[in-house]
Amino acid sequence: MRSLTASHSHFAGNQPGSRDDLSTLLLKADIRLDGTRPWDVTIHDERAVHRILAEGALGAGESYMDGWWDCRAIDQMLTRVLRAGIGSELPSAGLLWAQLKARVCNLQSTRRAWIVGRTHYDIGDDLYRRMLDPRMIYSCGYWLNAANLDEAQEAKLDLVCRKLDLHPGMRVLDVGCGWGGAAQFAAERYGVEVVGCTISVNQAKAAEERCAGLPVQILLEDYRDLKGRFDRIYSIGMFEHVGPRNYATFMQKMSKLLQPDGLMLLHSIGSLHSHSVGDPWLTRYIFPNGVPPSMVQIGAAVEGRFVIEDWHNFGSDYDRTLMAWSANFEQSWPELQSRYGERFQRMWHYYLHSCAATFRSRQSQLWQLVMSPRGVAGGYRSPR
């Protein structure tokens, strides 16, 4: 969705355009209004046209939630939009204000870090249990030799453990431990002691229950408050919540927590461009204050603190992961609808399919970095 949020537009400063304007724009991506193909858009309320042309990504997402337009395959439609680059011709509602706010305030400060826990991860474990795999891993799977979501997540967790060269007796830190599935896997399969932290009350409780009887400690704690020393550190799908103003703080903290001969693995969504704020629709409705980092931003934060031993991109696997989550969500919707309602269903559908489009179009990446404090003697050879 990132390219749907450009700040320059031939519509900017003018009155919102007409249905013909939107039709002409979408035809550049071979998308027709009221067409019959899966990626064509059906307009139910003409206000959607003006909303999309005036507000870009935010208007498109909100008007979909309102039921003003539909598309049988949002993932296919937005993939076409992103590949055609037509998002640069739409304005980005509120982007300038969000950028100014990010310059003045630390949107992911220690106090504000808990917002995403309350508004996203704590909305209901019943939803996540039905959408995710049995370990409730809420990050990209590794599909190299996997036939389904469960296998892809098991393969990803094993890949992380192998990249870190885990051995029994090691003390391992899981930064952003989610519902405890990764910590459980590492403790059971590799015999390590794990300390996990999360800013979600629901996740902390569920992780403690999941890891009962294992050498796993779960902390309801922000990464900035962590203490101790660890042989290995991994962070899976959490760095997107750290925020550009805190990237250096994060890396500095990790360097203090990691033993001099240790290894750290960072698993994060990546952006092709450096931004101070995230997509306006995703920020408002899904991940408050979330910002995927760029290579430049990560590099600047790592400089002087770590040697990057390996940088692995398997972003296309997130497309398959998101579509698998979507299939689980839709299949389970009859059990969820009485609690969450139709507007939530449309919002969640749009979230999963729009994100799948960003990875399918290669606008978003999924990176795994392996880092060491001083460089691995003789070099590092990464498993794949």
Catalytic residue positions, numbered: 355
Q: How far apart are CA 169 and CA 185, in angstroms?
A: 15
Please count the other Cβ atoms lying within 10 Å of the Cβ belonging to residue 228.
9
For residue 189, CA distances in Å to 108, 128, 154, 181 come to: 34, 24, 11, 12
With H, G, I as helix, E, B as strand and everything else as coil, classify residue 218: strand
In sequence order, the β-bridge partners of residue 365 are: 270
Q: How is residue 119 annotated by DSSP?
A: I
Parallel, antiparallel or unpaired: strands 171-175 and 193-198: parallel
Number of residues assigned to the chain: 384
Find, among 243, 233, 231, 12, the residue nearest to 116 by Cα. 243
Please count the other Cβ atoms lying within 10 Å of the Cβ belonging to residue 44.
13
Helices (H) and strands (E) in the chain, counts: 13, 9
Find, among 357, 286, 349, the residue nearest to 320 by Cα. 357
Place of tokens 């193909």: 37
For residue 350, CA distances in Å to 13, 178, 339, 354 come to: 28, 23, 19, 6
Cα four-point dihedral sign 210, 214, 219, 223: negative
Q: How far apart are CA 240 and CA 270, in angstroms?
A: 8
Task: Please return the burial class of 141, using the count of CB atoms within 10 Å of its CB with bins 0-12, 13-18 and 19+.
Answer: buried
Phi, psi of 37 (to 5 degrees): -80, 155
Please count the other Cβ atoms lying within 10 Å of the Cβ belonging to residue 337.
12
